[in-house]
Structure 1
Amino acid sequence: MTDTAHALSASRTLWDLLARRAALTPDRPVLLQGDRVLTFGALRERAERTAAGLYERGVRPGTVVAWQLPTRLETAVLTFALARLGAVQSPVIPFYRDREVGFALRESRAEYFAVPGVWRGFDHGEMARRLGAKGVFEAYDDLPDGDPAVLPAPPADGTSVRWIYWTSGTTSDPKGVLHTDRSLIAGGSCLAHALRLSADDVGSMAFPYAHIAGPDYTVMLLLYGFPAVMFEHFALPDALAEYRRHGVTVAGGSTAFYSMFLAEQRKRPDTRLIPTLRLLAGGGAPKPPELYHSVVREMGVQLTHGYGMTEVPMITMGSPDDTPENLATTEGRPPEGMRIRIVDGEVRLRGEAVCSGYLDPSQTAEAFDEEGFLRTGDLGHLTDEGHLVITGRLKDVIIRKGENVSAKEIEDLLHTHPAVGDVAVIGLPDAERGERVCAVVERAEAGRRLTLETVTSYLRAKGLSPHKLPEQLELVDALPRNETLRKVLKYKLRERFSEG
C-alpha cells in the first residue's frame, strides 16, 4: 500500500475519507458510466448538496434510510450524502421483491425509502406503497438538492453503527448485519493492500452497489485515486464494449463472473477479450482450482481470489505476487489486524473489519464466541505460510453413515470434467445412510451426456474415496443463484431434490 493510501486508510469516517481524497485529486475521475464521468471533487460537492436536500426533508444523524437502487452514479452520490449526514443506511438489492424488501423495511424501522421508480419493467414505487413504506422518494436521475450551508458538522465518530446490510440469500431468511464506517474502511483497505493496484488502473463494478462489495470497492478507489466503470445491468457479451472503451485493467466480482469471461474468451481464443485487462479479482463464492488455471492459461491474465462475507467484507485476498499454487488452492492471506482462529475446523474471525453484530441480539449472541471471535460457519485451515484454505461449510459437511464428506472436495473434482458446466453437491435425508450425496450438475454447452455411472467412474479415477461417491445425480439447465454475486442457493436444491 502506498504512503498516501496508508494515511487515508486511517480516516475516521467514509465522509472523512472522501473529503481527504477530493482535496488531493479533485479533478481525477472516480466513477465512469457510459458518457458520464464523476470526479472525486464532483462526488464530494454533489453529495453535500444532496445531503442538504435530505436534511431539509427531515433526515438527521441517526435517521434510518433504506435504499433500493441500481448501480449508478446517483446511487454513489446518495450514499455519500447519507454518510455526510451520519444517517443509518439500509441498502437493499434492487432485484429483491415484496417479501425481502418488506422484511428489511420492518426490521430496520426505516423512516425513509429511496427507490428508482420503474426500473427494468418493475414499479418499485408501487411496491413501496403496497408495503406501507415511510418517506418514499425517487432517486434515479434526480436527487434532493439544497444549500450545504444548512448542514451540521460532519460526523466525527466512525465506530457507531451506520449501516444495516442484509445477508445475501444463500439461506432462506436474511439477517440484518450491523456495520460501522470504520469496519467498511478496514475491509476496503484489505482489498486495496492485497491487489497491489495503482492510480493508473481502471476498475469495474459489475455487481449491485447495494451489496457489501459496493463500499468495499469504493473505499479502494478512494485510497488509490483511480476510477471504476459502473454497470447498471451486467451481461456478456453486451458489456464488453464498455470494458474496452474505458480500458479496464481490473475486472471480476465472483467465481461466476470468472466463468462468464472465460466462456466469452473461448468464443475467440486467438483474440484478447479485453486488451487492457491484466487482473481478474473477486470473492464471495468458492473458486475451483481448475478455473484459476483455465483463466490464466486461456485469457492471459492473473486471477486473485479472496474470502469475504456480508459480516466481514474482506477477510483474506490472494495477491498477484503469490505463487500459482497458492492462488489456485487458497483464498490468500489476511491483512494485518485480521485474526483468524481455527476451532474444531471452523474459521473464526476477530478484527476491525468484522461487523458489530446483527439487528437481532439473539443472533449476535449465537454468532460470537466467548472471546469475541465471529463464528463464520466455514471450514478451513491455515497453511504454514499463513494462507487460508476453505474446505467447505459446516452445513455442507454431509454425514453419510457416520462419516464426514466434504461437498467442496467433490465439487472441485467434478469441475474438471469436460461435460460439467457447474456443480453443487448437497446432502439429502436418507433413512438408511442418514444423508446421501447428491451431485446437481449444470451441463456444459457442448458437454457429453452424463449418467451417475459416468460421474462415479470419473471420480474413482480421480482417487475419490468410495464412501464419498454421489448416490444421486440431477441434471439441470441452470443452478439457482442469488442476484448479487451469483452464489448457488443450495437450500433451494435441497428443497427440490429431497424427495428424489
Structure 2
Amino acid sequence: MATAGTSSRGASSYDRGETSPALLTTTIGVNLTASAAAFPDRDALVDLSSGRRWSYAEFSHDVRRLASGLISAGVAAGDRVGIWAPNCAEWVLTQYATAGIGAVLVTINPAYRSHELAYALKQSGVATVISASRFKTSDYAGILGEVAPECPELREVVIIGDTRWRDLAGTPVDTASLAQRGATLSTQDPINIQYTSGTTGYPKAATLTHRNILNNGYLVGELLGYTESDRICLPVPLYHCFGLVMGSLAATSHGAAIVLPGPGFDPAATLRAVQDEACTSLYGVPTMFIAELGLADSGDYDLSSLRTGIMAGSSCPAEVMRRVIDDMHMAGVAICYGMTETSPVSTQTRSDDSPARRVETVGQVGPHLEIKLTDPGTGATVSRGQVGELCTRGYSVMTGYWNDPETTAEVIDADGWMHTGDLAVMDDDGYVRITGRIKDMVIRGGENIYPREIEEFLYGHPDILDVAVIGVPDQTYGEELMAVVRLCEGATPMTVEGLREFCAGRLAHFKVPRYLRIVDDFPMTVTGKVRKDEVRRQGIEHLADG
C-alpha cells in the first residue's frame, strides 16, 4: 500500500506524489486475466437486482465470450462502441470485453434524451451501441430508433437481453482471435470516451487510455488498502469515472468484488447490499450518504463489515463525516478530488488522516502525479496558502478531447499540465482545499470574490440547509452577489434583510449578498455538484421577473 510522506515540500504550491507502488504496464484485458488466474474462485461481480454473480474465473470467461462475439461482428480495434444503460452486469461485461479487443467504449449518460444521445453518437463516431431496452421513463430502444438515421457511422444497435445480445454474449471463446487482437494493443491506446457533464455548451469528449484509467483505479485502491478480500458496493453510476475507474478497475486490479445494489441509486437497497454481501467499502457523493443515514431504519442495518470507501463530488459536512465514520464504521473513508479529464483522481486523503482533514481538504497528490497552483492571470506558481488554479500532470492526464484539438490546447499546456479551472489553496503539508471555480469567481467593483468562502460562512446560519452564491450583472459594480438557498424543514421564511443582518460585522461589506433567492432544490450534475451556470441563469431570470 502506498503511504504519504514521500512527496516534495517547499514554499511554492507544488507537490509531487510518491513513486511506489510502480505503475502498471499492462492493458486492462491482461490485468483482468492475471486477476482471474490469481483469484479464480473469489467473487468478481454481484448484480443484486438480477440475482446473478460471477467468480473471477466465470467473469473472465464471459468477458472473453462477449469479446469474441464483438470481433465476429466486425468490431475492430479503435472502433467506438457505445454503452447506454443503467448499472447492470451487462454494463461491466461490456466494459471489459471492449477493452480486451481495443475498442473504445463510449459511456452514455442514462438520463440523456434524443438530442443529447444523437450528439454523443455522432461526435464520437459510434459504430455499435449496446443499450438497455428502457430505464425509468425512457424508452431507450424507441429513442435509438429515432436517432439512428442521424448517425451515419452507426452500424448496429444491440438491445441487452434480446436475441442479438444473447448471440454475442454467448459466442464460444475464440482464443486465437483474442490473442491476435491482444498482441496489437498498447497501454497508450484510447480505450474510453467519457462526456463531461456539459455545464457550459456541449459536453466535451474526454479520451482516456488503458494506462490512464487502469493505473488510476489501481492506485486509488492501493491508498484504500484493497486486497482480494474487499467487496466494493457501487451505487454510483458506472458510466462515470467514479463507477468504472474508482469502482470497477480498482476492484479487478486487486481481485476484489464489485457489488451492484441496483440499476440506480436507492439508499435502502444500498445498505441492504452492504449488509447482505458483507461489503467492506462503499462509494457515494455526500448526498447519497446523507440519504442513507436519513433512512428511518438506517440503524437496523448491519454495516459492521465496512471499513473504508470513497466520498467525492462535493465537500462533506462535518456532522455527516462523523456519522459515516462512527455509525457506518467507515474509519478509512477517503475524500477524492479529480475530473474526467484526469481519469479522474488527482488528490486523495489517506487512511490515517483526521476527520477534519477529510472535511476541510481533498487530500494530497496521488502517486506518480504532480500538482501545482498557479496565478490564473500570470501562470506563475503561487506560494503555499495563496489561492491559485489547480493544475495536474502525469500518467492520468487524458490524451485530449476527441476530434477537438483546439479545445484540448486550451486546457493542456505545452508542458503537459492539465488546467482544471478549479481554484484551491495548498497548506504546508501539501493538503489541498478547493475554494471554487475560476468561472465562478465574482468581480464586484474590482474586488475578486470567491463564492465558496461566502457559502461556507452561510452554512453556519441555523436555517440554511444548502446554499450557492453566484454573481449576477449589475450596472454599477459589474457584478453583484446573490445567495440562492435551500431552507431547513420548518425554518422561518428568510428575508434579504435578515440575511444581511446575519452577515453584518462578520463579512467584508463587498462580500455580503445583495440578493436572496429561496429554492426547493438545485440543478445538479451526476457527481453531486451544483450546476452553477444553471443556478446563475435562473437567478438572472428571477431578477428580470421582478
1:107 paired residue number: 123
Which is further off, 10-19 or 414-423? 414-423
Residue 58 of structure 2 corresponds to 42
> Does the aligned pair in 2 maintain the 1:396–1:406 contact within 8 Å?
yes
Specify the alignment match of 1:485 in structure 2: 527
Residues 44, 56 of structure 2: 8 Å contact kept: yes
- Could you tell me which residue of structure 1 aligns to residue 29 of structure 2? 15
Task: Describe the SS at the equivalent of 2:253.
Answer: helix
Distance 2:228 2:489 in 1: 40
CA contact (8 A) 1:169 1:489 kept: no
CA distance in 1, matches of 2:224, 2:85: 28
Does residue 1:227 correspond to 2:248, yes or no? no
Helix, strand or coil at the partner of 2:537: helix
SS in 2 for 1:148: coil
Could you give the per-residue CA deviations for residues 459-491 of structure 1, whole angstroms, max 9, x where no partner exists? 447x33222111111111111113x22321111
Q: CA deviation at 1:168?
A: 1.8
1:58 alignment counterpart: 74
Q: How does 1:377-392 map to 2 (within 5 A)?
A: 377-392=421-436
The 3 A distance-change label for structure 1 pair 440 and 387 is same
Question: Which residue in 1 is equivalent to 2:461?
Answer: 417
**Alignment pair present for 1:26 and 2:40:** yes
Q: Please, what TM-score do these two structures have when normalized by structure 1?
A: 0.92
Q: Alpha-carbon deviation of 1:285?
A: 2.6
> In structure 2, what residue type is equivalent to 1:350?
R
Amino acid in the other structure paired with 2:518: L
Are the counterparts in 1 of residues 292 and 298 from structure 2 also a CA contact under 8 Å? no
- 3-state SS of the aligned residue for 1:136? strand
CA gap of 1:275–1:417, structure 2 versus 1, over 3 A, is farther
Q: What SS does structure 2 have at the residue aligned with 1:495?
A: helix
Q: After TM superposition, list the pairs within 5 Å mapping 1:466-481 onto structure 2.
A: 466-481=509-524
Q: Does 1:433 align with 2:463?
A: no
Rounded to whole Å, the distance in 1 between the matches of 2:283 and 2:430 is 24
Change (3 A) 1:292 1:185: same
Alignment partner for residue 186 of structure 2, among 154, 157, 177?
A: 157
The answer for unaligned runs of 5 or more in structure 2 is 4-19, 376-387
* CA shift in 2, pair 1:301/1:272, >3 Å: farther
The 1:273/1:23 distance shift into structure 2, 3 A limit, reads: closer
Q: Is contact 1:168-1:310 (8 Å) kept?
A: no
Contact 1:8 1:20 in 2 (8 A): no
2 CA distance for matches of 1:291 and 1:466? 31
Q: Return closer, same or farther for 1:237/1:399 CA change in 2, 3 Å cut-off.
A: same
Q: Which amino acid aligns with 2:478?
A: G
2:171 maps to what in 1?
A: 146
Task: Indicate whether 1:326 and 2:357 are aligned.
Answer: yes
The answer to whether structure 1 residue 262 and structure 2 residue 276 are counterparts is: no
User: Helix, strand or coil for the counterpart of 1:237?
Assistant: helix
What runs of 5+ residues in structure 1 fail to find an aligned partner? none
SS in 1 for 2:181: coil
- Superposed, 1:183-194 pairs within 5 Å as 183-194=212-223
User: What RMSD over aligned residues (CA atoms) do the two structures have, in Å?
Assistant: 2.4
Q: Which moved more, 1:99-108 or 1:297-306?
A: 297-306
Indicate whether 1:342 and 2:373 are aligned. yes
2:395, 2:83 → 1: CA distance? 25
* Aligned-residue offset at 1:162: 2.0
* Partner AA of 2:265 in structure 1: F
Among all aligned residue pairs of Structure 1 and Structure 2, give the percentage whose two residues are the same amino acid: 29
Could you tell me how far 1:46 is from its partner in structure 2? 0.3
- Residues 280 and 22 (structure 1), Cα distance of their counterparts in 2 relative to 1, 3 Å cut: closer
Contact between 1:67 and 1:91, CA under 8 Å: does it hold in 2? yes
- 1:168 is matched with 197
Aligned to 1:211: 240
Corresponding residue of 2:382: none
Residue 92, structure 1, aligned to residue 117, structure 2? no
Cα distance change of structure 1 residues 415 and 170 upon mapping to structure 2, 3 Å threshold: farther
Change (3 A) 1:458 1:186: farther
Report the Cα distance in structure 1 between the residues aligned to 2:272 and 2:514, rounded to whole angstroms.
45
Find the aligned partners of 2:475 and 2:26 in 1 and give their Cα distance.
56
- The answer as to 2:444 corresponding to 1:400 is yes
Cα separation, partners in 2 of 1:260 and 1:416, compared to 1, 3 Å: farther
- Select between 203-212 and 287-296 the one with higher mean Cα deviation: 287-296
Native 8 Å contact 2:345 2:366 kept in 1: no
